[in-house]
Amino acid sequence: MTALECVRSFIEAINAADVRAICDLMTEDHLFVDSDGAEVRGREALRRGWTGYFSMMLDYKIQVRETYSRGRVVVMIGTATGTYSANGSLRPENRWRVPAAWRAVVKDGRVAEWQVFINPEPIARLMGSHAVE
């Protein structure tokens, strides 16, 4: 599998909220870096992270408009969307959409690094408005 094919499969797994498939496509020492530069390392830590994220953002999706690939590195530009769910329900007023970019590094057919570049402000505002629910 090429780096580009691996990353496309990774995004398909994310869009399906399939934590098992996401983890199967990660290296054991996978590194996740969020838009603030915070890092989480290790497949098992990320298994918990993705599971938790999908419980808050039930319909999280990545839409890629442009892709650039060079060797083991793939960079994508597009949009991230989702609906913040404070109580397990999908309410239209909790829907968000932000421009986003992702950088992946592939090693031996698995994603070794996944970095997200978004403005988290709109999502944080939604989450903050439900802090007392």
**CB contact at 8 A, 57 and 83:** yes
Check which CATH number belongs to the domain holding 109 and give it. 3.10.450.50
Query: Considering its fold, how many domains does the chain have in total?
Result: 1
Domain of 34, in residue numbers: 3-129
pLDDT tens string 85-110: 877 777 888 889 999 999 999 999 99
6-54 pLDDT, tens digit each: 999 999 999 999 999 999 999 999 999 999 999 999 999 999 999 999 9
The pTM (predicted TM-score) of the whole model is 0.91
Look at residues 115, 119, 92, 128 and name the one whose alpha carbon lies nearest to residue 31: 115
SS3 63: strand
